[in-house]
Amino acid sequence: MKKIIGTLLTISCVGLALAGCGSQNAAQDQANSSTNSGEKQKLVISTWGFSEDFFRKEIYEPFEKEHNVEIVMEIGNNGERLNKIRQGSSEVDLVYLSDYYAQQGINDGLFEKIDRSKIPNLDQIYDIAKAPLGEDYGPAYTVGQFGIAYNPNLIKTEIKSWKDLWSPELAGKLTLPNITSTTGPMILDAASQVAGSAEFNEDQAFAKLKELAPNVVKYYDKTSEYVNMFGQEEIAAGPIMEMYFKDIKAAVPEAKFVTPEEGGYAVMNTVNIVKGSKHKELAEEFINYQLSKEVQEKTAKAKVDSPVNKEVQLTPEEAEGVTFGDEINNLKKLDMKMVNEQQKQWVDRWNKELTQ
């Protein structure tokens, strides 16, 4: 009897052990199945929100399908979105910012250093866009031109130069960007050139802009303000980014955009990885994707962004209103470290000397 009971106990124990192993194997199989099925990662991208439908359908959705990821957008202007990252009230992985604001993020230690070996498409882009704020940080995925638009129906002067903004014919017909806008420091630099200074001279720049102040209808903060004033013929000319010229031309078909003979300015929109992102490698894959010929061609042909990939080819019609080709490398580039260091002083002086 003892032998029988012992045998039964042995069988029972073996059975329990096997059941335990089976349970563990089942749990492991379930874990493996979950890993293999691949639950979607979430990549949070902070951006401006313009052309949102285009980006969602043409850019984000193909990446989502290929990488089994859900892209979530956080929308707002440069300053608002950068402040959310500063305050730690954001879960952003990737942030799109103009170079002026991106430099502030670098100064504040808000971005991860990128691994350029993970972004091979960097080899295909124009030199000016590769490392606008240093090798450790993100590239410019688009480079816009800051030049001048004017309405030939309202003035006889053919605008060719920055100095033409001082033409008496533009009295009461001119707009300029506010100093607090992305392009504000560029008009300050242009004024220094018009004043005859080979190197930037703050005093000469402000003196020259003070001459122009009576002619200015409004110092605009938003591009929409410019487009509305232009369309309603409240202004005849003013500096503007080329990427918005399509909106101006839609309002005034005869409108012209010119690269001033002294040169236009590069307005660079950068993409960076936020410090502490849990998806750094995925973010680097997205940057590489953003720089690909396929994506760059799509955004250029839709006239959403100017391409920085040198392999993109556009017809003359497709290139209209887009900064394209060798002209990108010929654009003037401001030192954003210097701009950020001087900005507070410039804003104070602008408010005292020009807007009061």
Is 287 a member of any domain? yes
Question: Span 228-232, mean pLDDT?
Answer: 97
SS3 of 138, please?
coil
Task: Cite the DSSP H helix spans in 72-157.
Answer: 78-87, 99-107, 127-130
Instruction: Say what the pLDDT of residue 38 is.
Output: 61
Is 1 a member of any domain? no
Q: Give me 80's structure tokens.
A: 């608002």
Is 314 a member of any domain? yes
In this structure, the answer to whether residues 217 and 345 fall within a common structural domain is: yes
Is 28 a member of any domain? no
Instruction: Say what the pLDDT of residue 232 is.
Output: 97
Find the CATH number of the domain harbouring 247.
Answer: 3.40.190.10
Lowest mean pLDDT among 28-37, 163-172, 235-244, 325-334: 28-37
pLDDT digits (tens, 9 = 90+) for 263-300: 999 999 999 999 999 999 999 999 999 999 999 999 99
Question: Span 77-93, mean pLDDT?
Answer: 93
In this structure, the answer to whether residues 171 and 119 fall within a common structural domain is: no
Average pLDDT, the chain: 89
In this structure, the answer to whether residues 152 and 301 fall within a common structural domain is: no
> Does the pLDDT at position 15 exceed 80?
no
Instruction: Say what the pLDDT of residue 329 is.
Output: 84
In this structure, the answer to whether residues 340 and 209 fall within a common structural domain is: yes
In this structure, the answer to whether residues 153 and 248 fall within a common structural domain is: yes
In this structure, the answer to whether residues 271 and 256 fall within a common structural domain is: no
pLDDT digits (tens, 9 = 90+) for 136-185: 999 999 999 999 999 999 999 899 999 999 999 999 999 999 999 989 99
Residue 253's pLDDT band, with cuts at 50, 70 and 90, is very high
In this structure, the answer to whether residues 138 and 149 fall within a common structural domain is: no
Q: Give me 338's structure tokens.
A: 């210097």
Q: Which domain holds residue 66?
A: 41-143+267-328
Q: How far apart are CA 132 and CA 104, in angstroms?
A: 13
Instruction: Say what the pLDDT of residue 50 is.
Output: 87
Residue 1's pLDDT band, with cuts at 50, 70 and 90, is very low
In this structure, the answer to whether residues 171 and 217 fall within a common structural domain is: yes
Q: How many CA atoms lie within 13 A of 323 on its CB side?
A: 30
> Percent of the chain at pLDDT above 70?
89
> Does the pLDDT at position 5 exceed 60?
no
pLDDT digits (tens, 9 = 90+) for 125-147: 999 999 999 999 999 999 999 99
Is 99 a member of any domain? yes
Is 104 a member of any domain? yes
pLDDT digits (tens, 9 = 90+) for 241-250: 998 898 999 9
Is 194 a member of any domain? yes
Is 98 a member of any domain? yes
Each as own residue / partner, the long-range contacts of residues 343-346 (CB below 8 Å, 24 or more positions apart, any chain) are 343/185, 346/179, 346/184, 346/185, 346/188, 346/202
In this structure, the answer to whether residues 317 and 234 fall within a common structural domain is: no
Instruction: Say what the pLDDT of residue 89 is.
Output: 83
In this structure, the answer to whether residues 296 and 167 fall within a common structural domain is: no
In this structure, the answer to whether residues 150 and 258 fall within a common structural domain is: yes
State the total domains in the chain. 2
Question: Span 65-69, mean pLDDT?
Answer: 96
Question: Span 218-224, mean pLDDT?
Answer: 94
pTM, full prediction: 0.81
Residue the block writes with tokens 């960007």: 177
In this structure, the answer to whether residues 217 and 254 fall within a common structural domain is: yes
